[in-house]
Structure 1
Amino acid sequence: MPQRRTVTSRSQEPRQRFAEEVKSLREKSGVSLRQLADQLGWDWSTLGKLERGQTLGSPEVAQALDQHYGTPGLLLALWELAVADPTQFKEQYRRYMLLEAEAVSLWHFGVSSVHGMLQARGYARELIAAGGHQGEELDRQVEARLGRAALLMGDGPPRFRTILYEAVLRMELRDRQAWREQLEDLIAVGDQPNVTVQVLPFSAGPFGLDSTEVTFLGLLGGRTVAYTENAHRGELIEEPSSVERLQLAYDSMRDLALSPAESRKFIGQMLEEVPCDPST
């Protein structure tokens, strides 16, 4: 089981941090640039440019290095922050992304969208495009978001629970086939032993987090932090009493949610309601 990394004192500038982590992981493995290049079948000079911050490569490069070093999602998260518009990611979100890659457990409530780790390609593309991205930047953002799912795969993945408000499941995509694929993916991912998917139906009535998208990260050492967000801003919450209040609201809401088995059946019924594309 790969050891989850702790926050370090290295650079908080995303591009430089990416380069530092790539170099640090290679040095800790005890191999030279040329030896690593031989192991991966890459050009050693390209790896050298990554370590010097002269290039960022592609999301596929970050994913391949994560797989090689047994750090699922860490380098990809840093790559995503490094290539993004720096005005788009405040310091708190940068810190959240690093903590997400280190978490041993995650609890999520989605009031308006599926968590990024569970988004299918078509769903992610429509959501990111709705935020104003297009062209090559849209493609990069989609690949980076899809790569976050690697955190839930492989050896020793974190435990992940998501509770989705029924409104999330009622918001159809323009591309009906992509929407079918998203619903199918939610059913499939719920079969993973480390993932739990639940639905909070409209019939549950009012609940404490009715306007709050929140993710709790359980970290090594037993500490828990929370990240709340809406369409305009996000906030990383680390103060214990504030996190505890959010957790109490989350626990009360979980009591109102359908069981995992009932949620699977609920999503399956919704899938039956989505019209099939007659061209397929």
Structure 2
Amino acid sequence: MPARRAVTGRSQEPRKRFAEELRLLRAERELPLRKPGEAVGWDWSLFSKMENGETLGGPEVVQALDQYYGTPGLLLTLWELAMGDPTQFKERYRRYMTLEAEAISLWHYAPYLLPGLLQTKAYAQAVLELGRFKGDELTRQVEARWERRTLLEGENAPSFRTILSETVLRTPLPVREQWQEQLEHLLTVGERRNVTIQVVLHSFGLYPLGGTDVMFPKPTDGRTVAWVETSHSGQAVEETAAVDRLQLRYDFVRDLALSPADSRKFIMRMLEEASCEPST
């Protein structure tokens, strides 16, 4: 257990305190910015922005830094306070963030919304606005969700597969240019070796998992956990038999989906349709 850190003289403004603590932890160890980046698998420029207070980063980045610096929970707590609404980080969501950060692979199915890891800022804002977020709180939440994309970057990034219902790709943003940007982002991210995107067409009819947003984060111990999400809550499913049932349904949907190459062509077709001028 690390020695308790004195707070005398530290900033009392949460965001500044978080950045201050990051700078101090690195300075105490006399480390260049590149060193933590190389150790935890994120680009050093992100840590520079975090230390300067330009961004807070995502929970998975902060958890990795907590582990690297040997400060279990300290940075995550400061990050939650800096986000301005610590009540949103209930234990069940903290559990998911831990599973996601430690996963060597992430398999996902989306029935109606794009997964947060693939959302642009505009898409994230549109989704969050449907909830209770607004003003500064909305801005913070959008930034936090956008920063989560870094989980899929770097040499140690986990393997990520998402299967999208056709509904996801036929539910555009109100602003056409923003929807085009989102589709282009999908195509760009889909080019990464660790990312696989597939699409299930409406023409396949009814199939298992039709209305269930589910993620399977697999940790290094080989155990598979399922995280089932609704529009207002999320729940970890860890009982082996229940996870196996969800996994079998996922496998069925994966077999049903278009191949990654054909899925990419489908997304490109959606982009072409979105790029067409509306008829007058």
TM-score range, shorter chain: 0.7 to 0.9
Q: Please give the secondary structure, in 1, of the residue aligned with 2:217.
A: strand
Q: Please give the secondary structure, in 1, of the residue aligned with 2:88.
A: coil
Q: What is the match of residue 203 of structure 2?
A: 203
Contact 2:104 2:219 survives alignment (8 Å): yes
Q: Please give the secondary structure, in 1, of the residue aligned with 2:244.
A: helix
Please tell me the residue identity of whatever aligns with 1:171. T
* 1:237 maps to 2:232: no
Distance in 2, Cα, partners of 1:154 & 1:220: 18
Distance in 2, Cα, partners of 1:136 & 1:130: 15
Query: In the superposition, relative to structure 1, how do residues 108 and 100 fare at CA in structure 2: closer, same or farther (>3 Å)?
Result: same
Q: Please give the secondary structure, in 2, of the residue aligned with 1:197.
A: strand
Distance in 2, Cα, partners of 1:245 & 1:81: 34
Counterpart of 2:55 (choices 42, 49, 60) is 60
* 1:111 maps to 2:111: yes
Please tell me the residue identity of whatever aligns with 1:60. T
Measure how far apart 1:215 and its partner are. 0.3
* 1:32 maps to 2:25: no
Q: What is the match of residue 11 of structure 1?
A: none
Q: What is the match of residue 169 of structure 1?
A: 169
Please tell me the residue identity of whatever aligns with 1:195. V
Query: In the superposition, relative to structure 1, how do residues 114 and 76 fare at CA in structure 2: closer, same or farther (>3 Å)?
Result: farther
Measure how far apart 1:80 and its partner are. 6.3
Contact 2:56 2:79 survives alignment (8 Å): no
Q: What is the match of residue 218 of structure 1?
A: 218
Distance in 2, Cα, partners of 1:237 & 1:243: 6
Give RMSD over aligned pairs: 3.5
Q: What is the match of residue 121 of structure 2?
A: 121
Percent of pairs with identical residues: 47
CA-to-partner distance for each residue in 1:53-93, whole Å, 9 max, x for gaps? Answer: xxx98572546x94996989x99987765426344343211
Query: Mapping of 1:1-280 within 5 angstroms?
Result: 26=25, 32=28, 35=30, 39=32, 58=53, 60-62=55-57, 66=61, 81-82=80-81, 83=83, 85-275=85-275
Distance in 2, Cα, partners of 1:192 & 1:215: 19
Q: Please give the secondary structure, in 1, of the residue aligned with 2:55.
A: helix
TM-score normalised over the length of structure 2: 0.74
Please tell me the residue identity of whatever aligns with 2:173. L
TM-score normalised over the length of structure 1: 0.74
Q: What is the match of residue 47 of structure 1?
A: none
Q: How many residues align?
A: 238
CA-to-partner distance for each residue in 1:187-206, whole Å, 9 max, x for gaps? Answer: 11111000000001101111
Show structure 1 runs of 5+ residues with no match: 1-7, 9-14, 41-55
Contact 2:159 2:195 survives alignment (8 Å): yes
Moved more, 129-138 or 165-174: 129-138
Query: In the superposition, relative to structure 1, how do residues 105 and 78 fare at CA in structure 2: closer, same or farther (>3 Å)?
Result: farther
Distance in 2, Cα, partners of 1:80 & 1:166: 36
Query: In the superposition, relative to structure 1, how do residues 59 and 198 fare at CA in structure 2: closer, same or farther (>3 Å)?
Result: farther
Measure how far apart 1:147 and its partner are. 0.7
Measure how far apart 1:232 and its partner are. 2.2
Contact 1:226 1:238 survives alignment (8 Å): yes
Please tell me the residue identity of whatever aligns with 1:244. D
